[in-house]
Amino acid sequence: MFADLAGSTSLRNGRWESSTASIYDAAVKPAVQILADFGADFIDVQGDAAFGLFTGDYSKRRAVCAGITIKTFGEQILMPALEKKWPNNPPQTGFKVGCAVSDLLAKKIGISRSAHNAPVWAGRAVNYAAKCSQQAKAHQLIVTKPIADMVRCTEYLWYSCACSDESVELWSDQHVEKVAGGDANGLLLTSGWCETCGDTYCEKICTGAWRRPDLDRKRSLLSHGKYERVIKFREANGVQIRRGIDIL
């Protein structure tokens, strides 16, 4: 998962260096903390961007939830704080987030047994997540197809919560430029967590739940259409369905 600060090159315009530094700190530090809270196995800061590597149980789910949390923080907390501090010239920024998955080869390079070495991750996921982030705008999340497949099968992610008048699909199709093959057929998300349901939904997603009881009526309407195709997709990909929980 790659979270980049939008418009970072213009943050210095009309501000002291110390003010610019405080903006970076107020943005990137919480993003790193969010990655840690969602159990990222490796975290790095690259300029104004935070990078997190997730492995293990429900790694794709945790990465997506971390990405949504970071962009929600940028839109709902960071931006209002910046607008309050600089009401006449607020910084135009926010997080652009990308998510991808692949096998990775990790190796430390540099001078052994010293501070002058660092891990290098060889594989598509890091590059593709950065490409997704580059294509996104502030407060947007773009994922590649393998992540998109998981999103489509998770009702807590795919549909809006019960606070809205009607549960609607939140994601839209997105072609990811400079990403090879089928991985380019991704998804775009512009909304963030609901203040009422966000914590509950996030917990359920990260622990493997996918089926929302409040959508029983929608499922009945789609029983011979899209919902049935989702079930077939899950079964074809080796995901057992038992009491609404993914058994991997």
pLDDT tens per residue, range 205-229:
999 999 998 887 766 665 545 556 6
Q: Which residues pair with 105 in a beta bridge?
A: 122
Q: Which of 40, 39, 64, 62 is nearest to 52 (CA)?
A: 40
Residue range 5-42, pLDDT digits in tens:
998 777 766 666 777 788 889 999 999 999 999 999 99
Give SS3 for 161.
coil
SS3 99: strand
Note the pTM of the prediction, 2 decimals: 0.85
Q: Residue 136 pLDDT > 70, yes or no?
A: yes
- What ranges make up the beta strands (E) of 103-164? 105-110, 117-122, 140-143
